[in-house]
Amino acid sequence: MASEPTIPAKIIDGTALAKSIRESVAEKITAKQTVFPRFQPQLAIVQAGERPDSSTYVRMKAKAAEQVGIKFRHINVPVESSADHIIKLVQNLNTDENVSGILVQLPLGSHITSADERLITEAVSPEKDVDGFHAYNIGHLSSRASDPLFAPCTPSAILRLLKSTGVCISGSQTVVLGRSDIVGSPVASMLRNEDATVTQCHSRSKNIPDIVKNADIVVSAIGQPEFVKGAWVKPGAVVIDVGINYVPDSTKKSGQRLVGDVEFSTVVNIASHITPVPGGVGPMTVAMLMENTLLAAMRQWEFARNRKIKPLGLTVLEKVPSDIEIAMAQTPKPVTELATEVGVLANELESYGKYKAKVDLSILDRLAHRRDGKYVIVSGITPTPLGEGKSTTTIGLAQALGAELGRPAFACVRQPSQGPTFGIKGGAAGGGYSQVIPMDEFNLHLTGDIHAVTAANNLLAAALDARIFHEGTQSDKALYSRLVPTKKGKREFAPLMFKRLKKLGIDKTDPNSLTPEEVTRFARLDVDLNTITWNRVMDTNDRFLRKITIGQNSTEQGYERVTGFDIAVASECMAILALATGLQDMTDRLGAMVVATSKQGDPITADDIGVSAALAVLLKDAIKPNLMQTLQGTPVFVHAGPFANIAHGNSSILADRIALKLAGTEEGDSADKVGYVLTEGGFGADMGMEKFCNIKCRTSGLKPDATVIVATTRALKMHGGGPEVTPGKPLHETYTKEDLVTLKEGCKNLRKHIENSRKFGIKVIVAINQFASDSDSELALVREESLAAGADAAVVSNHWAKGGAGARDLAEAVVNICEGDSDFKFLYDLELPIEEKISIIGKEIYGADGIELSDLARQQVENYSRQGYGSLPICMAKTQYSFSHDPKLKNVPSAFTLPIRSVRLSAGAGFLYPILGDMQTMPGLGTRPGFWEVGLDQETGQVVGLF
């Protein structure tokens, strides 16, 4: 308690104390930046108008920020700005991760009501409310059961000044004069939390002098000049003067002087400690603002770095139900919640319902500074027609890393085509307790990307045939007049036409200045009908569309031709979607697609036809990756779906790049912060992984750290000479009982895949996908054979039956094997002749003796080389069921020659694809397709029978 003073009150030097606080803040910022150079607190102040007092306060805060190393951002808006406009500014600052703290300088314009002011201050995110004015922070300040994120600056300053005196606050009689939301009420709450007995007075309080006389501590924030007199103060009391009042003073140049709420001249001889005005609470308030801004920055920095997934609980049954029953039994977390957990900002997320969303590509710019996470390609051995659980392994491993080990982990998978979904193979959501959910949405329309690809592909097909028709039915002059019409007396080229003019070497911008010869060259594509390579597509297995005749109606005036349909995921538009590195890159690639050759031997592109920009418009949303989740609530990016036996068989570069940044680390982070991205390559490693390395990685510039090769005893036994495996038919007992001899023979297939992977300089982890019928001896044999073949690790994984917990050992192996840098390298040099590049893949990856080009293929290779496409990588189109072109040749065939039937050009996607054997680009439906089982529960509306 206070005692009788023997000397005048000690002046509580707020200026000196504020200086020491600022120095401490500066030291902490410097120390943090030494470890994490990108750490940079930033304070943003929104000010309406240019009130002299407000501008002075803003300058003070700006100066203090500069002194301590806090970046300062001043947003000055016209005084007449509406509340809605200011709220929008504040909301934008909320989502700007570079801004640590936000302060709205009050007062605002006179038209802003008190209700509007409250809306504005509460628009500030509580996590950035460094002023401490948000109802969330004020509410927590008033509760003894909780702490606010920030205490208001002036009350914090008062408390710090009190503590600097050494006075015992606990048990003291304290009087607070004033009840404002900014000072009086919050400081009263803070003092109560320090166990003071607080009496709060205000303008309607009676007998204030008598109340003050009993106070050990007096805090005056009443806004009346020299209100508190010395006669009121208890001898030895501590007095904190918050007031800032101007009174007339003819001796001052300004005609006024600054005084507090306390009559300093009379109180100074009574109190034991007193704050001066100025030099007391004022500088401390600004110092506390700096401290709050640093606190905000530290919290946000740690939150961004400590990305934590809250796993969903998984109830695992001993008898594993059907895939869809498992999926329907799990309730996904809202995708907005998942996005927050993985570090996607609200303005980067576009929700499509509750459980799926697109992620805006701007996230790559925001996270460009991060070092990528570890990059793992999941592939497999040569599969059976039933599949070997590669997608299931990808998802199970992601669940193990994310939900079991607590590491940032993303699965990146392709969107399934409805062709196999309603055919025989089924979807690609994984299986058992390792799935993407909601699996029905995943396997069906998702966000419409495949439909967008179909629309773009078919628009180009329609545009090509229409152009052929119009060129055949019009004169040069009429054709040119329609292509470049006169509108309102003016004739202009469309923007895309300048690309064609440049290609033709015509350096003119006035349509009227072209010579007759230039008009003909510009207007006529002169398509050689025998060279058209562009088919229409649809996302259904329809074998009867493989070859069709179009133009049979009389309106087409006899312009018939033979063409066909491919499945939508085989479209070059889909390959471009998967390989594009951004919107402009996608647009350029779409324009570069070659659809035919002219009669003069020149390639005809989508740019020549004038449709490329429209294609980009159709795909502008499809280019954004889709965010979903696993059964255990870990993130999955689902994007693009190029077939692996026709196209390059990998999900998008953009999905991988975004995932790698979200799983990445800041400079200064420890090794245990690094996350993992598991991207899936279609079918066996001879297909999806080879194309991933030679095509996808060339385009992306990314280097994989390891490959996981999925193997099953079932597939290995088939390669070892076991009976044929056929969908819908019971498995032979070879596959359900122990057979080490057949299994060991089949392990040669696995050995070849391991050796192939090593040729790319990639570390290899074999994931032995366990089936219930596998014996311990069989699993041990596969592990031994894997290690003997050069695998870095071989781990049995039971994720299908146990979820992430069943893949924990596999996850730990991935973490250990991925340490260190990647030694990745390409298989061949792009500048080699086309035929030689095909031969290298055939010999090195497939084990062929050589290749044999048909006359057509040889002619195409010569044509592409002449046209300047000889330096493109190779994308082999062949069966997935054998290393060779023949699905009947199992295990590791030898002494065979690869027949190259034809070679197609995907100039926009950036590869050439030789077609081997009788490979089809439109699958067909079997006798008993999967659609027989699919339907709706008429009571719940849920999908049933989908796997």
Amino acid at 328: M
Rounded Cα distance between 46 and 57, Å, is: 12
Q: Which of 42, 128, 129, 131 is catalytic?
A: 131
Q: Give the Cα separation of 594 and 112 in Å (integer).
A: 61
> 450, 417 in Cβ contact below 8 A?
yes
770 catalytic, yes or no? no
Residue whose tokens read 């999900």:
651
- Tell me the two tokens of residue 698: 């060339």
What residue type is assigned to position 227 of the chain? F
* CA 378 from centroid of its chain's CA atoms: 20
Q: Is 105 labeled as catalytic in the residue annotation?
A: yes
C-alpha distances in Å from residue 408, one per residue of 25, 117, 166, 680: 32, 41, 48, 17
Tell me how far CA of residue 626 lies from CA of 343, 413, 655, in angstroms.
15, 10, 8
DSSP string across 362-422: THHHHTTTSBP-EEEEEEESSPPTT--SHHHHHHHHHHIIIIIS---EEEEEPPPPHHHHS
Burial 574-605, CB ≥16 within 10 A → b, else e: bbbbbbbbeeebbbbbbbbbbbbbeeeebbbb
HSE at residue 872, side-chain half, CA atoms within 13 A, is 23
Residue 853, H or E segment: strand 850-853
- The answer to whether 400 touches 522, Cβ cutoff 8 Å, is no
- Does the bond joining 107 to the residue before it have cis omega, within 30 degrees of 0? yes
Instruction: Report the distance separating Cα 709 and Cα 633, nearest Å.
Output: 24
Helix axes 14-35, 281-305, angle to 10 degrees: 20
Give the pair of three-digit tokens for residue 941: 């509306």
- Burial category of 248 from C-beta neighbours within 10 Å (exposed 0-12, middle 13-18, buried 19 and up): exposed
d(CA 860, CA 615): 27
Pairing verdict, β 635-638 and 626-630 = antiparallel
Question: Is residue 694 within 8 Å of residue 873, measured between CB atoms?
Answer: yes
Q: 874: Cβ–Cβ under 8 A, 6 or more apart, which residues?
A: 694, 834, 837, 838, 841, 911, 912, 913, 914
Q: Rounded to whole angstroms, how far apart are CA atoms 108 and 124?
A: 15
Q: Which uninterrupted H or E stretch holds 71?
A: strand 71-77
From the CB of residue 52, how many other CB atoms can be counted at a distance below 10 Å? 7
The three-class DSSP label of residue 22 is helix
Residue 31 structure tokens: 């120390």
Q: Which residues contact 853 (CB under 8 A, 6 or more apart)?
A: 835, 861, 900, 903
Asked about 173 being catalytic, the answer comes back as: no
DSSP structure class, residue 598: B
Reading the block at residue 401, the tokens are 């890393």
Q: Which of 373, 415, 374 is nearest to 391 (CA)?
A: 415
Active site residues: 61, 105, 131
